[in-house]
Structure 1
Amino acid sequence: MNGASPTRVLVADDQTVVREGIVMLLGLLPGIEVVGAAADGEEAVALVERHRPDVVLMDLRMPRCDGVEATRRIRAAHPETEVVVLTTYADDDSLFPALQAGARGYLTKDAGGEEIARAVADVRSGAAGLSPQVQLRLLERLADGAAQATEPGAAPGGTGRPGATGPGAGRPGELPDGLTAREAEVLALIAEGLSNTEIARRLFVSPATVKTHINNLFAKTAVRDRAQAVAYAFRHGITGTQQ
């Protein structure tokens, strides 16, 4: 890693064979140092306090304290430690709770070494580390949420289009948290998985303009990264999948 300090990683998984397998795999990857391994969420929280890792690879289904609660506690006490959630299935019901608890990445357990290394590097650099399967699941949930918002009896304003409002957004046509129509449009395109360059092409604006919109909408919605932005878009029904 060109002389850079290795990324310190903690692994948390209650299945011994899985935990030891991940530790062994990480040990083969350049630029990564495994500083501990936990068998449940409680131990993960304690080991983060002791070792202060850069990244935690966190299983969701664990005894005593599950991955979502452990993630919430770790992020509250040690915001400098990022969490990448590991789960068996991309459609795990804990997907959105984990993101809302502060996880910055989300991988299925069949991810290879290269994919894990990329997710670890992404979250440490401030980006979101989401596997292709998980990105697809997020988009499916966004589409489902938009469809439900348009059903008879749904909350007013949940149209499923950029600029739509969702739960608690106020009057029909009023965007949450003071978002402008353009910011909501950019948010919807983020939720579709588009990069800044792709959003710029779609909207016929410069990448610098897109970055400005993203900085503004992140500040208004109090999200820290694209993963949280996707979760926010889902909660508020802001998606372009139904245009």
Structure 2
Amino acid sequence: MRALRILLIVAVILGGLFVIADRVAVGFAEDEVADRLRTSEGLATTPDVSIKGFPFLTQVAGGELDDVEIGIEDYEAATGVSGQNIRIDDLNAQMRGVAFTGDYSSATAATATGSATITYAELLKAAKSVESGPVEVVPGVTATIVGLSDGGNGKIKVEIEATVAGTKLPQPVSVLSTVTVEGDTVKVKADSLPNLGIDLADNKMRTVTDFEQKIEGLPGGIKLDAVEAAKTGVEITVKGSNVSLAG
């Protein structure tokens, strides 16, 4: 019995040492991946990296991690226009089946899914009327988008400031719009035309109400999958395959 107790004590001690070594190793790996991801993506801050699953060391021995979570607080995505980026907030991605080299210089996920947010203030910059100024929708009538907000039920509320015969309307008029994604582009389209008290040409007014924003160069080559209007902005989901975390 004494020998058995000694063996049990030794086993517990060794098990504890293994757990400590495993957690130290996973912490080192998370820091390495985070640093390399920051460098490869040109990030302003170091992202959060969390390697899931236990034990970590047995995953290392197999050369593949089951589950890695990446968190990037602010990401500047390209828009296809030179010198113009769009800020994406709270980009979180879950990577599955991450194969890596021994020095973590290269890591690639078999699949990735994630989510992020584009604030309404940021999306407002994409509206064509904001960039080019008021648009003459009919002779003597100009209009421009001045605000975006949550319209409820998955819609965006678009506020439009209009001037009729040189007189600005006392309050902006608003329309509810539907947001969709097509390829690498977020599109906003009004469900109906705003009521300015006059007849409007549909195609001309939609140059104000409808706009789109291209989003390119997301980390690791992940792509837009879906969008939905929410309280603080447009929530996007992303997905990808053979996604590069480093290297």
- Normalising by the smaller structure, the TM-score range is under 0.3
Q: Please, what TM-score do these two structures have when normalized by structure 1?
A: 0.27
If you compute each CA radius of gyration, which structure gives the higher value, 1 or 2? 2
Q: Which has the higher helix share?
A: 1
Q: TM-score, normalised by structure 2?
A: 0.26
Work out which structure has the larger RCO, using CA pairs closer than 8 Å and 6 or more positions apart in sequence: 2
